[in-house]
């Protein structure tokens, strides 16, 4: 129950819900900021290396580090306070691409969760169309 609440509901579920709520109904396509691009690349390499060596728990730890990075990014950038325009679109693009990559990294561990995230992100060429459907991990009572 504690892992469910901390990593799934409060971690992955909360980050996913925030990004999807902020970007719902939008079409986003910008250039990734270097810090986000580097973080995704770093996580991809680390997760791949950990899985290759059957260090699955460590791979999940790296993935949860990406969730923490995403949470810090969204809190720092505060796109809900931004005016519509290029800068806000860039921030939303970074967040949606982070979420899309998070789903890909989660696929070997939580395939249903991964597909529920990606079902809300529709690629049309190099543009992502975002919808918001349901809560990934409802709070336990």
- Higher-confidence residue of 133 and 108: namely 108
Rounded average pLDDT over 49-69: 93
CA distance 42 to 60: 14
For tokens 């396509």, the residue is: 29
pLDDT tens digits along 84-131: 888 999 999 999 999 999 999 999 988 988 888 888 888 888 788 888
- Determine the 3-state secondary structure of 121 from DSSP: strand
What residues have CB less than 8 Å from 114, skipping those under 6 apart?
103, 104, 106, 107
- Whether the Cβ atoms of residue 47 and residue 63 lie closer than 8 Å to each other: yes
């Amino acid at each position: 129950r504690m892992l469910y609440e901390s990593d799934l509901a409060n971690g992955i579920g909360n980050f996913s819900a925030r990004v999807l709520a902020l970007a719902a109904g939008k079409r986003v396509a910008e250039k990734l900021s270097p810090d986000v691009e580097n973080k995704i690349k770093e996580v991809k390499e680390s997760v791949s290396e950990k899985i290759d060596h059957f260090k699955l728990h460590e791979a999940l730890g790296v993935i949860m580090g990406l969730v923490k990075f995403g949470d810090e990014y969204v809190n720092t950038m505060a796109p809900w306070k931004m005016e519509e325009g290029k800068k806000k679109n860039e921030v939303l693009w970074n967040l949606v691409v982070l979420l899309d990559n998070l789903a890909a990294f989660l696929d070997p561990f939580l395939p249903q969760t991964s597909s529920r995230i990606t079902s809300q992100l529709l690629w049309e060429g190099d543009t992502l169309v975002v919808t918001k459907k349901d809560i990934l991990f409802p709070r336990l009572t």
